[in-house]
Amino acid sequence: MKSTNKFGMFIHWGLYSIPAVHEQILARYDLPSAEYEKYKDQFNPVEYDPEEWVLLAKRAGMEYICITTKHHDGFCMWDTKQTDYNIMNTPYGKDVIRMLADACHKHGMLLSFYYSNPDWHHPKGYNPISTHQWKSVNIGGEVDTEGYREFVKAQVRELLTNYGPIYTFFWDIPSKLYDPSLNELVRELQPGIIINDRGWSEGDFATPERELDKIEGARFSKLTEACNSLGEQSWGYRSGEDFYSIRYLTSAIDRIMAMGGSYLLNVGPDSLGRITSDYSTRLERIGDWYNRMKGALVCHEREELPLRVLHGDCILTRKEGKTYLHFYNGTISSAALVEGAPSLPKSVTLLNTGEALPFAIEKTPDEFSMETGIAVTLLRIHGIPIDELSAEAVVIEIEW
């Protein structure tokens, strides 16, 4: 399990879907905590249909869902016995995590939990050596991180005992306090679970967020799960959101997954429990592209053949004896030129369309030796419909 990279759905959902601005609106807009917490008395997602969410994810080719059980505001989306500040004390009054877990298990979707270390509601939540503490109710007061950790452990025990098998656990905002007992508890309750690196001790996988341009190299050296949202401004539901382009997101997904990572793409359901069409339509378009990749983005290896693609940003992978050229930023022309081909391929397929591409090992006049002026011999794959594919990453399959 730990060697398999996957495409997954991230879900940020909570009280912040009511003002529909940002999941950290309490801090970003400097609201009084008492004013924000009144949203608990309004939260009533009567149109929540977790099966619809799961089936949308499946249609997009996703294999797991990670949902915010508690974000920085401290509001808990499950039937926790550790605080009254939870979903059971809203007009809705039902455990939405239980409902999602049941839908995931019914449809064979893996389920993961996000849990925020900062807690702006808990009376012992303030941690002066961490970040994102701006709205802690006891900020500047007595610090009791040990007392808060006991609360966290009790909540982790609930989450990892009552909802069936859990695939990954996503701590958010490193506490900067070293306490391996929390990850030990997670593993005790869910043997085989994978834990991220934002918790209280070393985790199993890295979690780069949004900052994809800072990632270098053709292969991750450790388990990695990158995450981004469909929306540029917010992870939670935002009315009038600024959305990333389909091209930008397919490029990011292709690049991360070709490097061996998982990719977690976020949606923000609204206060009624709907993944609105602004989000679902974009996700379906991305899923259409992803499904046309025919599994090339998962369970692959580094390409060991001494191949070199001459032009364009390209990562090479290998799966089941086939070579894959991942042009995550698209190809710069209608041809791909490859140096070092061991033989003439049996076939070359453009996964974006499923069509065979013409190819030959031949001299190309504009690629030549500066010493002799003689054209070099390359594998030339041509006929790529670049203009038709301008909105998505391009993947080419070579069967030798």
What is the pLDDT confidence band of residue 213, given thresholds at 50, 70 and 90? Answer: low
Whats the size of the chain, residue-wise?
Answer: 400
Q: How far apart are CA 199 and CA 87, in angstroms?
A: 24
The one-letter amino acid code at 95 reads D
Percent of the chain beyond pLDDT 70?
Answer: 98
Q: What is the pLDDT of residue 367?
A: 82
Q: How far apart are CA 72 and CA 90, in angstroms?
A: 18
| SS3 call for 224 | strand
* Residue 229 φ/ψ, nearest 5 degrees: -110, 155
Residue 25 reports pLDDT greater than 80? yes
- Name the average pLDDT for the chain: 96
Residue-wise pLDDT for 354-392, tens only, equals 999 999 999 988 888 888 888 889 999 999 999 999 999
Residue-wise pLDDT for 131-169, tens only, equals 999 999 999 899 999 999 999 999 999 999 999 999 999
- Give which of 207, 28, 200 is closest to 127, Cα–Cα: 200
Q: What is the 3-state secondary structure (H, E, C) of 59-114?
A: HCCCCEEEEEEECCCCCECCCCCCCCCEHHHCCCCCCHHHHHHHHHHHHCCEEEEE
Looking only at the bridges linking them, the beta strands covering 225-229 and 194-195 are unpaired
Q: What is the 3-state secondary structure (H, E, C) of 302-364?
A: ECCCCCEECCCCCEEEEECCEEEEEECCCCCCCCEEEECCCCCCCEEEECCCCEECCEEEEEE
Residue whose pair of structure tokens reads 């656990």 in the numeric block: 169
What is the pLDDT confidence band of residue 1, given thresholds at 50, 70 and 90? Answer: very low
329 C-beta neighbours (distance < 10 Å), count: 16
Residue 209 reports pLDDT greater than 60? yes
How far, in Å, are 18, 59, 107, 175, 238 from residue 38 at the CA level?
11, 37, 35, 28, 19
Residue 273 reports pLDDT greater than 50? yes
Residue 88 reports pLDDT greater than 60? yes
Residue-wise pLDDT for 298-341, tens only, equals 999 999 999 999 999 999 999 999 999 999 999 999 999 999 99
Contacts of 291 (CB under 8 A, 6+ apart): 60, 61
Q: What single-letter DSSP state applies at residue 210?
A: S
Q: What is the pLDDT of residue 170?
A: 98
Q: How far apart are CA 308 and CA 310, in angstroms?
A: 6
| SS3 call for 158 | helix
Write down all domains in the chain, each with its CATH number in brackets. 7-292 (3.20.20.80), 301-399 (2.60.40.1180)
Cβ–Cβ under 8 Å, residues 35 and 42? no
Structure tokens at 307: 């191949």
What is the pLDDT confidence band of residue 212, given thresholds at 50, 70 and 90? Answer: low
